[in-house]
Structure 1
Amino acid sequence: MISQDPLKAAEELEKWAQGLEQRAQQYNELQDRLNATTARATSPDGAVAVTVDSNGVPTELKLNEQARGMDPARVSELLMSCLRQAQAQLRSEVTELVQSTVPGEDAPALNIIAQYESRFPAAETTEPSAPSAPPADDDEDWGNQSFMR
């Protein structure tokens, strides 16, 4: 509540305005730092690596010599696993960044963290499984043909 005394009211409003300006500077700094944030994950065997930007979008996919001759399904599985790991790392980095840059109890700060938590699940704790065997050939496999004639 603003004081009835005009001088005190002016001081309170000035202090409030300074607080808003400081908060705006903190959020501008946060935005700059978020824009520069990336995360990278590499498969345990080093065959593939994925880098994501601050939105979790892949910006770099690397395949090294170990990926040459590897089953394409396995390469795909490793890429997707690395993507999820990089996004989970991004989630963690953004949470730390928000908490260290702006007041953690601010609704906008909590909203940023919640958005990353909902978009990117926690990191996987297991390595991707080995590729599964192809499905057995049975009577219901239509191959690349339609069952409708």
Structure 2
Amino acid sequence: MVSQPQFGGDGYQTEQEVRRWAADVEAKAQRYQQMQAEVAAVSVTESSRDGVVRVTVDATGAVTDLDIGDRHAELSGAELSREVLTTMRRAQSRITGSVAEVMERTVGDDPQTVAAVVGSYRERFPEPEPEDGRHTGSPVEEISFDRPDDPGPGTQPPRRRPPRRPRPDDDDDDNPWGNGSILS
């Protein structure tokens, strides 16, 4: 923590206090720049339990590398998608710990900043749901809005033709729109 300079003494003492305070501020700024650079360099790699998927994410949670092993052919598309997302979320959830280590090492003397940054990461990248199939959150229900005339999934509804407009009885060659206006 940077302490405030003590003014009010003689000119020499005040000058020394200002120099010490300025040096403390400069040192703190350098530590924050170091923290920022180290946080930006955070990268986490996680593998799926079966080793088919490996995902690397950066400090923002963005996927920077995705490797899918040859055994992916043993999985359905849905299973492979689930493995990729689960592995990505596990990697993202580990970012918080890496950022916390950097924060403690570089600016640990500023607990409010450390708590705010780590809390922000914890909120953005929570622990993923357990992989054993148990869902700990609220249950999700599937809702469908079936229409009475809906033939069901996978079938095309019958095509309906728009009603035909009545034609005017009189075909006047001078008026291509018939007897009525073009809006009728």
Considering the TM-score relative to the shorter chain, is it more than 0.5?
A: yes
Equivalent position of 1:30 in the other structure: 35
Distance in 2, Cα, partners of 1:145 & 1:16: 76
**Residue of structure 2 in register with 1:143 after alignment:** 154
1:41 aligns with 2:52: no
Aligned identity (percent) is: 28
Contact preservation (8 Å) 1:78, 1:128? no
Provide, for residues 42-90 of structure 1, a one-character-per-residue CA deviation record: whole Å limited to 9, x for no partner.
0000011110011110011111011124111111111111111101111
**For residues 140 and 23 of structure 1, do their structure 2 counterparts lie closer, same or farther at Cα, with a shift above 3 Å needed?**
farther
Three-state SS of the structure 1 residue aligned to 2:67 is strand
Report what 2:6 is aligned to: 2
State yes or no: 1:92 paired with 2:97.
yes
| Residues in 1 aligned to 2:110 and 2:51: alpha-carbon distance in whole angstroms | 40
Distance 2:155 2:119 in 1: 43
Equivalent residue letter for 1:143: G
Aligned length: 141
Aligned amino acid, residue 56 of structure 2: T
- 1:132 aligned partner: none
Structure-2 change in CA distance of 1:142 and 1:96 (3 Å): same
SS in 1 for 2:60: coil
Q: Report the Cα distance in structure 2 between the residues aligned to 1:59 and 1:105, rounded to whole angstroms.
A: 31
Pairwise mapping of residues 50-69 of structure 1 onto structure 2 (< 5 A)? 50-69=55-74
Amino acid of the residue matched to residue 108 of structure 2? P
Alignment partner, residue 81 of structure 2: 76
Residues 19, 140 of structure 1: alpha-carbon distance in 2 compared, 3 angstrom cutoff: farther
Decide which structure has greater helix share: 1
Counterpart contact for 1:81–1:128, Cα < 8 Å = no
Q: Report the more deviating stretch, 55-64 or 113-122.
A: 113-122
C-alpha RMSD of the superposition: 2.7
Query: Structure 1: how far apart are the matches of 2:157 and 2:13?
Result: 81
Gaps of 5+ in 2: 134-141, 143-149, 161-184
- Assess, with a 3 A threshold, how the Cα gap between structure 1 residues 7 and 53 changes in structure 2: closer, same or farther: same
CA–CA separation in structure 2 for the residues paired with 1:37 and 1:9: 42
2:107 aligns to what? Answer: 102
Between the aligned partners of 2:156 and 2:39, the Cα distance in structure 1 is 48
Match of 2:92, as an amino acid? Answer: Q
C-alpha contact (below 8 Å) 1:89/1:123 kept by paired residues? no
Please say which structure displays the higher CA radius of gyration.
2
Alignment correspondent of 1:127: 131
* Higher relative contact order structure (alpha carbons within 8 Å, sequence separation ≥ 6): 1
